[in-house]
Amino acid sequence: MHRGLETGKRDALLLAFLLGVAATLRLYQLGDSPFHHDESLHAFFSYQLWQGEPYRYDPVFHGPFLYWTNALVYSLLGASDFTARLLPALASIALLLPVWSLREELGRVGWKVAALFLLCSPTYVYYGRFLAHDNYCALFSLLLLTLAIGYLHRPTAWRTLLIGAVAGLFLATKAVSYLFFATVALFALLVFALDTFAPELDRRRMRDNTLQWLRYRWRHWGLALLALLAAYSALFTSFFSYWPGLWEGVFATLSHWVGQHQQARIPGPVYYYLPRLFLHEPVFLLAIPSLIWAARERRSPLDVFLAFWMVASLAIYGYAQEKVPWLTMHMLLPMFLLAGRWMDRLWQAGRYRGLQLGVITLLLAWSLRDTLWLVYRMPAASPHLLTYMASTPEIQQAATRIRSLQPDPGEVYLAGPGTWPMRWYLRDTRVEIGLTDGWQYSARLIEAAGDDAARLADAGFAGRDYPLMTWWTPDIRWLFSGDAANYVLHQRPTDDFGLYRFTLYQPAADRPFLDDVDD
């Protein structure tokens, strides 16, 4: 008893230390880096909501949870680059809590291994400092797993209420929730089929009875459904003021994202995520043998579920034609937990502990090195496998110069590729989107491209262009080149990348104003 209390106390102290390190990695200089195109959309739409404009769901920009919560943060702390990213960063830090709460399932060593890889993950630290929906999705996924396991040990009504509420918030966050719930449903269906049509195989290979592990009580799950509907309805209907949001949250979501997949808006090969996992997430090197171990042993339903979740995530996101690096987060979650389970079993076996400790230390050092380089040392907008369309500091500088005009910069028109993130940076400035027929030739500053640029030149405006964002999508051959070795060993980014630029126009007499912006 005394030993158990001491172990629990040490685990709690370790958790507090890990939370402190996670907070440092995710909050230090949080508002300094340039806002990504998508971040600026999320930040500005939350700002509009805070300013009193009504919320209407649009599946292009994902669910309402982020916008309502960010508007709440603005109301408490004001709107800034730091506060815009604050709540997703806190959600990223909080991911350690459900991992700690799973310490009995993961084991005394396993939860520490899972927590350390989550703490040091380049993907999770970089996007934990990013205003995006995926931090919430990862947190909701782990919370649902934790609550479900807790319910299976002690089935109480309050746990199912929490499961329903978290599931409703998850559905109101991003369409990846449907992929998670589809994975869980498919796993349950396969388990049911196995128990029904091959019960002897199921009982021979599983030490725990699977259907007992998946038992349910209808009254409890009725409460869960009510909690889910309450959370979902409140957010999608703008707190019961816009009832069409009820069905838009489902039908518009599915219609839009199925269409995006068919259209292949952001396509990529089926192996798109594998180089990112292999080169930057060393837990992947533990997850593969962990997967083989779980498939061979099949002693615990949790091991089988984590293995299934990992394989399903790799397959689903590899197949889907909407490929962006931050979706790697959803593939990593089961890897952290499964690797922790396997490491704990090996440690308890008592063999090769020195070798095991050395391998874990080496992989964690590799992970932390990549994290520190990506987040703190790499110049903004440098090409990297874990970034996508990264913005340059020049757009921050230009926005700062525009805001510095006294007493008022006058009308600013945004009609080119720099509209986002410039609209967020100029949120307190009078801005018009697009050059309509009534645009004012007296405007002090205009961001434009294409035919609009020609109109401005005819009207006597002078333009200057600046780097806006970079992108880099290497093919599989790059992995076997000398550039890849330099990239991995020396963190030297390639020179073969694309660069978008934006152009600011102003009356020729005002030209010196923008010459102060570095390019």
Dist CA 79 CA 373 (whole Å): 28
What per-residue confidence (pLDDT) applies to 493?
Answer: 64
Average pLDDT in the chain = 87
Residues 66 and 132 in one domain: yes
Q: Is 486 helix (H, G, I), strand (E, B) or coil?
A: helix
Residues 357 and 297 in one domain: yes
Check whether residue 169 and residue 64 sit in a common domain: yes
Q: Is position 385 within any domain?
A: no
- Same domain for 452 and 405, yes or no, is yes
Task: Write the pLDDT tens digit of every residue in 77-129.
Answer: 999 999 999 999 999 999 999 999 999 999 999 999 999 999 999 999 999 99
pLDDT tens-digit map of 368-422: 999 999 998 887 778 889 999 899 999 998 888 888 775 565 678 888 888 999 9
Within a domain: 363: yes
Q: What is the pLDDT of residues 336-353, one digit of tens each?
A: 999 999 999 999 988 788
Last residue of a domain, one of 377, 412, 434: 377
How far is it, in rounded angstroms, from Cα 442 to Cα 234? 45
Q: pLDDT digit string (tens) for 190-201?
A: 888 877 776 655
46, 66 contact by CB (below 8 A): yes
Q: Which residue has the higher pLDDT, 211 or 339?
A: 339
Domain final residue pick, 329, 350, 377: 377
Provide CB contacts within 8 A for 50, sequence distance 6+.
Answer: 70, 71, 74, 75, 79
pLDDT at 204 (0 to 100)? 47
Comparing C-alpha atoms, which of 378, 471, 424, 396 is closest to residue 32?
396
Largest CA distance in the chain: 86
Q: b/e string for 34-66 if b means 16 or more Cβ within 10 A?
A: bbbbbbbbbbbbbbebbeeeebebebeebbbbb
- Compute the average pLDDT of residues 495-501: 77
Please state which of the ranges 126-135, 174-183, 260-269, 406-415 shows the lowest mean pLDDT.
Answer: 406-415
Is 384 a domain residue?
Answer: no
Strand partners, 501: 467
Mean pLDDT throughout 281-303?
89
The tally of domains found in the chain comes to: 2
- 383 belongs to a structural domain: no
Output the six-digit token pair for 283.
Answer: 């837990």
Structure confidence at residue 214 as a pLDDT band (50, 70, 90): very low
Distance CA 16, CA 126 (A): 21
Please check whether residues 158 and 212 belong to one and the same domain: yes
d(CA 317, CA 413): 38
| Residue 505 forms part of a structural domain | yes
Assess contact for 89 and 129: CB atoms under 8 A. yes
Do 42 and 191 reside in the same domain of the chain?
yes
In a domain, 12, yes or no: yes
pLDDT of 424-465, one tens digit each?
Answer: 999 988 888 877 665 655 566 778 777 777 778 777 788 888
Share of the chain above pLDDT 90, in %: 59
Look up the domain containing 70 and give its range: 2-377
Same domain membership, residue 349 and residue 411: no
- Strands, sheet with 431-433, edge to edge from the N-terminal-most edge strand: 390-391, 461-471, 498-507, 445-447, 412-414, 431-433
